[in-house]
Amino acid sequence: MFTINFKKPIHVYFIGIGGISMSGLAQILLSRGFQVSGSDMKESALTRQLASRGARLHYGQQLSHLDDTVELVVYTAAIHEDNPEFQDACTRRLPMLSRAELLGQLMKNYELPIAVSGTHGKTTTTSMISEVLLASETDPTLTIGGILPSIGGNIRIGHSPYFVTEACEYTNSFLHFFPKISIILNIEEDHMDFFQNLEEIQHSFHQFASLLPKEGTLIINGAIPNLSAITEALSCKVLRYGFTPDCDYFASEIACDASGQPCFTLNRKGRESLKVRLGVYGLHNVSNSLAVLALSDLLELPMENTLKALSSFKGTDRRFEYKGKLGGITIMDDYAHHPTEIRATLEAARALSPKRIWCIFQPHTYTRTKAFLTEFAQALSLADFVVLTDIYAARETNTLGISSLDLKREIEKLGKSCFYFPTFDEVENFLLQNSINGDLLITMGAGDIVKVGENLLGI
């Protein structure tokens, strides 16, 4: 594998530079004096930001984009071997790194790299950690899988030992990392186009935990099934969090205030208990915050700063995000694309006490829809009405013969009203005609479903 000398900047070309993680890495290299260029399929706010900072960008992907000055090519897992730029780099035998390999090498430049993993909640938890570190003026470097309003984007370049990143299990990407502290939020079946079964996913997370050095620490959800399979034979310190007294950090006396936001008592072994109030919704965020509170203690940050940061944190873009109101109808958006995430989001929505909940869901990938068809139907049935769009293909082609109509039939078997429309225009017109004052409309999915709510609001 090619090893970057970060003291000797070179010209790096990114295939897929507009991705949320790739754009952040490109910004870090720019800040270190590297020449950066790259391509993406279309212009976006992230690519415009890169261009303003000196990156040379191309839209569309062609052989001619890689000029003779390129010394390293970085690509994402979404790039296939038939990509013309990927093929050109191979033909010219240019050094190549995956996004995860570059991120792993970058982590070695920091004394305290922190990696946040799990099937769900990575972006929200990483954002919570970011706010806590900023509140204690630690000057961290942050790379987040979403837009965090307080830093005006997905990346913050600091000058301290702290480096925080999300760690995704897809294609075993996180096995290229070099963390000193790792967090595992949860482990469930997902990415079944890569993993064969849950046991293989658990093995991957065990390998990830095993990357920690002896002086490192694993912070892990104590409710993960078969937890010992993840923690066995680890040489590092292990801290467990959850909702039961056998955990090192556990929540009790959980309640919601008048606005639906949770508050609870934090119990810590060997330390005084504390009252915690969150600025985000849902029991799943209580769990996420416990990991953050354990990390805060581990780093010996002032707890008053941590508690203040958690109470003022209102979430990141596309994570239970309030978009606006239209004629007394509240419109929100969420990135949820797995049954567990959908269930958690709809339970949080119910805490707001709307008259009726409309969930406008865009399934994400054919393999995920096929694998969790029954589970999707059960989770979506928590809404009063479900509106489905076509499956967002992402990196896939439909070789499974699955469609949103299959999911519609499963939902209707549960006695729930479900509607399907092939275009966003039809969805928007239907919602305008059928939603009423006091309803909550929540667009949901990892694709471009957010446009429905934004079009309704005219933003």
- Residues noted as catalytic: 122-123, 166
Classify residue 272 as exposed, middle or buried by CB count within 10 Å of its CB (0-12, 13-18, 19+).
exposed
Separation of alpha carbons 338 and 120, rounded Å: 8
Tell me if residue 149 falls in helix, strand or coil: helix
Q: Which amino acid is at 8?
A: K
Separation of alpha carbons 352 and 346, rounded Å: 10
DSSP state of 76: -
Separation of alpha carbons 222 and 165, rounded Å: 22
Judge whether 307 and 268 are in contact, CB under 8 Å: no
Helical (H) or strand (E) element with 254:
strand 249-256
Judge whether 316 and 130 are in contact, CB under 8 Å: no
Separation of alpha carbons 354 and 284, rounded Å: 20
DSSP state of 266: E
Q: Label the pairing between strands 153-156 and 181-184.
A: unpaired
Classify residue 194 as exposed, middle or buried by CB count within 10 Å of its CB (0-12, 13-18, 19+).
middle
Judge whether 117 and 182 are in contact, CB under 8 Å: yes
Helical (H) or strand (E) element with 217:
strand 217-221
DSSP state of 171: G
Judge whether 398 and 366 are in contact, CB under 8 Å: yes
Helical (H) or strand (E) element with 272:
strand 271-277
DSSP state of 173: G
Tell me if residue 132 falls in helix, strand or coil: helix
Judge whether 189 and 201 are in contact, CB under 8 Å: yes
